[in-house]
Amino acid sequence: MMERQKIGREKKMKIGIIYGSMLGSTQSMSQKIADIFGKTEHEVNVSNVQNVQPKIMLDYDVILLGCSTWGDGVLQDDFISFEENMKEVDLSGKKAAVFGPGDSTYARFCEAVDILDEKLIKCGAEIIHESLKIDGDVESQMDKVKDWTEGVMKKL
């Protein structure tokens, strides 16, 4: 009986992680998140935004977008056209969350994360967890990435 309840609660989901990264920080975060989901019953797929179109998001139950901030609060280069073209997809019924690294010495700290959060909402997705913003070196803050991923998992 206990076992049946457990299976019912933990529905297998398709998780799509799509990231844009210039120097590798967002890529590392993506890999960490994927490794954690990889140990669960869920199916996880990681894509560099360079190689995909927004319609790929329709393949997933859960969409996790990762993007660093450049310029003065601008999306990582490869994400710019992807974000523009997101208007073409209806993400109603999809669960989503956003993560990214940044540097709080810049005026617009992790603005890319906020831009994508808003865009996902405009496309009809449900934001299931507060976004993750890592300030500074990512490798030494992987515990935060782990905690966030576990938080997302609890909302599925």
Ligand X SMILES: Cc1cc2nc3c(=O)[nH]c(=O)nc-3n(C[C@H](O)[C@H](O)[C@H](O)COP(=O)(O)O)c2cc1C
- Contact residues toward ligand X (CB under 6 A) are 21-26, 68-73, 76, 101-103, 106, 108-111
Degrees, nearest 5: CA angle 131-135-137: 120
**CB 51 → ligand X: shortest distance, Å?**
16
Distance, in Å, from the CA atom of 63 to the CA atom of 136, rounded to the nearest integer, reads 24
What is the bridge-based pairing of β-strands 62-67 and 69-70? unpaired
Tell me the two tokens of residue 79: 């994400």
**CB 150 → ligand X: shortest distance, Å?**
22
Cβ closer to ligand X: 25 or 95? Answer: 25
- CB of 62 closer than 8 Å to CB of 96: yes
Q: What are phi and psi of 22, to 5 degrees?
A: -90, -45
Distance, in Å, from the CA atom of 77 to the CA atom of 14, rounded to the nearest integer, reads 27
Q: Between helices 25-38 and 142-154, what is the axis angle to 10°?
A: 50
Cβ closer to ligand X: 61 or 78? Answer: 78
**CB 105 → ligand X: shortest distance, Å?**
8
Cβ closer to ligand X: 17 or 110? Answer: 110
**CB 153 → ligand X: shortest distance, Å?**
23
**CB 46 → ligand X: shortest distance, Å?**
14
Nearest position to ligand X, beta carbon = 102
Cβ closer to ligand X: 43 or 114? Answer: 114
Cβ closer to ligand X: 21 or 149? Answer: 21
- CB of 73 closer than 8 Å to CB of 7: no
